[in-house]
Amino acid sequence: MYKKPEKKPCGFGRIKPGGTPALWLAIPVGLVAAAVIGIALQAAPVFPHNTMNAWLRALLIGVCVAPAAITLVWTVVVDRSTIPGALPHPEHSVECTWYDQAAKDSFHLLLAGTGLGAALTSFWLPPMVSWTLIAVFAFTALVFAVSYLVRKES
Amino acid sequence: MRNRLPQLRRERHLSQEKLATMLGVSRQTIISIEKERFDPSLPLAFQIAAIFDLRIEDIFTPDAPL
């Protein structure tokens, strides 16, 4: 009986086992998303006195956004079990613990840094610096509180 | 947490790489467990016990007596 040959492994994985390579989907969708973002942002009144051609502005924004958009689409569509060398259970690996600890350390450092920084800069630097640090502190604390409550309720 | 993983692995002629593949984790994870620098999660401890056909407490023992 004829057996269909298995598709060879794809460096960036596939959308499902034996399916289309994930990049074939991620690149066009990412480029379309980047184009839409470019066109939308070029009209934003960020630089009201900018004399550059609108299409050129959209193209430049699109080119800058494209790598991030393609990567984002790829992370959504790829089936990680099809990526060569990807671990089946990364959540049980020691690297996951290292990541968690590093994230915890950086969170606490960010809170301490922005809190102390806001207090200290209020004496010597323009108020905008202190307000910016306070805003980062408040946003970080808010995200923490929401994340904590979501886990508590679930 | 102390463990007998290196001894059990050697008895069964398993390399760290092979054991890591069987468990679906990185080789560094096996190295860290063997050096007693990382305590495996409960599901991983169960998997390790199943591979060696032993109970978890036959492989892992707490530092301080319970």
Query: Which of A87, A94, A98, A101 is the best residue to mutate to test the B interface, defined by the most B CB atoms within 10 Å of its own CB?
Result: A94
Asked if residue B66 is part of any domain, the answer here is: no
Please tell me which of the candidates B26, B40, B44 has its beta carbon nearest to residue A95. Answer: B26
Asked if residue B37 is part of any domain, the answer here is: yes
Q: Does residue B43 sit at the A interface (CB-CB below 8 Å)?
A: yes
Region A48-69 average pLDDT: 86
The DSSP H or E segment spanning A125 is: none
> In the 3-class helix/strand/coil scheme, how is A42-59 assigned residue by residue?
HCCCCCCCCCCCHHHHHH
pLDDT score of B66: 61
Asked if residue B35 is part of any domain, the answer here is: yes
Nearest CA in chain A to B36: A94
pLDDT score of A35: 94
pLDDT in tens, A65-92: 999 999 999 999 999 888 888 888 889 9
Record: contact A89-B24, CB cut-off 8 A:
yes
Nearest CA in chain A to B34: A94
Of A44-48, B44-48, B59-63, the range with the highest mean pLDDT is: B44-48
**3-class SS of residue B1:** coil
Q: Would you list the domain boundaries of chain A?
A: 22-82, 90-153
Asked if residue B7 is part of any domain, the answer here is: yes
Domain span at residue B44 reads 2-55
Which residue has better confidence, A127 or A141? Answer: A141
Asked if residue B61 is part of any domain, the answer here is: no
Region A13-23 average pLDDT: 88
Asked if residue B60 is part of any domain, the answer here is: no
Residue A16: band (very low, low, confident or very high) from pLDDT cuts 50, 70, 90: confident
Residue A47 pLDDT greater than 80, yes or no: no
**Which positions ≥6 away from B47 have C-beta within 8 Å?**
B23
β-strand pairing of B60-61 with B2-3: antiparallel
Specify the residue for token string 């004399």: A51
Residue B55: band (very low, low, confident or very high) from pLDDT cuts 50, 70, 90: very high
CATH code for the domain of B43? 1.10.260.40
How many domains, in total, are found in chain B? 1
CA distance to partner chain A, nearest, from residue B52 (Å): 18
Query: Which of A83, A92, A95, A96 is the best residue to mutate to test the B interface, defined by the most B CB atoms within 10 Å of its own CB?
Result: A92
**Which positions ≥6 away from B31 have C-beta within 8 Å?**
B16
Asked if residue B65 is part of any domain, the answer here is: no
Least confident of A12-16, A30-34, B39-43: A12-16
ipTM for the assembly? 0.87
pLDDT in tens, B9-53: 999 999 999 999 999 999 999 999 999 999 999 999 999 999 999
- The one-letter amino acid code at A89 reads H
Asked if residue B43 is part of any domain, the answer here is: yes
